[in-house]
A = this chain, B = another copy of it.
Amino acid sequence: MDLSKRIDRAMTRAIAQAQGTDAPAGSVPGRLAAALNYAVTPGGARIRPTICLSVALACGDDRPALSDSAAIALELIHCASLVHDDLPAFDDADFRRGKPTVHLAFSEPLAVLTGDSLIIAAFDLLARTEAADALRALQLVRLLAHHTGMPHGICAGQGWESEPKVDLRAYHRSKTAALFVAATQMGALAAGHEPEAWGELGGRIGEAFQVADDLRDALYDEGTLGKPAGQDAIHARPSAVDELGVQGAIRRLQDILGGAIASIPSCPGEGQLAQLVRVYAERMTPVAPVRV
């Protein structure tokens, strides 16, 4: 099965579980249930679960069900963070993935609850592991919490935007890189490998994504992005384009990805993984400025 099919199937199962599709009719709040599915579709690149499963496969993937749970837990958290970040109190975004944001399509209360429910569904998924793999699953819960909450996860990253004085390194590390570090480390751990050695690969991929995102935000229009463009400038957020210019940011992106490939720990699927990063590198590098 190719990775995207594997991810889609596991995501469909996880959302059905959170929606309570096997509960008696009318015993579950239907609008919130619908919002959960709305918030995770269409899937787009599913980049974090793809990285997670790619690392798990490179490490032997001896517990595929657990790898699936790790991958989907990450994506649920990622989607939750998008729903909350789009809220009027944050980015006040109208569109995401080419359709109205959850608070516009449903309501603001349902958007808050959708984010909360997706966060909880992520941990629930990891907890539905067979008793024989309980220790590995519990370590996955801890890794996911570390990279998601306070003091060093994506909540902390978002929190930096409310500080009068920002530690830029901590900000980028937690806001964007954290879930990529989680992706490589959780993939390795799900397959029974020590997660620590995999942190650098995730960190570098995360850094590359931040630079690529800054580039796309600066260069592309809303139609191409599927969400409002130019948000970094509007919200005066730190950006690699602002710091280095467009060409400088593209060079930085290529340097980071070179470092990412060099950092891959020794494992059975090392070569394939390096190839995957190369493919992403090509996809991430903007070909031409198209902002209108």
Q: Are B116 and A145 in contact (CB under 8 A)?
A: no
Docked Cα-Cα span, A138 to B127, in Å, equals 6
Q: What distance in Å separates the Cβ of A48 from its nearest Cβ neighbour in chain B?
A: 17
Main secondary structure on chain A at its contact with chain B? helix
Q: Are A162 and B110 in contact (CB under 8 A)?
A: yes
Chain A interface size, under 10 / 10 to 19 / 20 to 34 / 35 or more: 35 or more
Knowing A119-B119, A156-B28, A163-B31 touch, does A142 contact B127 (C-beta < 8 A)? Answer: yes
Partner of A89 from the list B18, B31, B33, B109 (CB cut-off 8 Å) is B109
Q: What distance in Å separates the Cβ of A31 from its nearest Cβ neighbour in chain B?
A: 5
Knowing A116-B155, A124-B142 touch, does A149 contact B18 (C-beta < 8 A)? Answer: yes
Q: What distance in Å separates the Cβ of A26 from its nearest Cβ neighbour in chain B?
A: 6
Docked Cα-Cα span, A240 to B40, in Å, equals 38
A206 within 8 A of B: no
Docked Cα-Cα span, A29 to B129, in Å, equals 34
Q: Can you name the residue of chain B whose Cβ is closest to the Cβ of A174?
A: B29
A30 within 8 A of B: yes
Q: What distance in Å separates the Cβ of A105 from its nearest Cβ neighbour in chain B?
A: 13
On chain B, the residues within 8 Å of A80 by CB distance are 116
A131 within 8 A of B: yes
A151 within 8 A of B: yes
Interface string of A99-137 (1 = CB under 8 A from B): 000000011111011011101110110111101001101
Q: Are B145 and A121 in contact (CB under 8 A)?
A: yes
Q: Are A18 and B150 in contact (CB under 8 A)?
A: yes
Interface string of A28-53 (1 = CB under 8 A from B): 11111100100000000000000000
Ranked 6 nearest A-B pairs via Cβ? A20-B151, A120-B149, A32-B159, A124-B145, A29-B159, A127-B142
Given A20-B150, A117-B156, 12 other A-B contacts at CB below 8 A? Answer: A27-B151, A29-B150, A29-B151, A29-B156, A29-B163, A84-B112, A109-B161, A113-B159, A119-B120, A123-B141, A123-B144, A123-B145
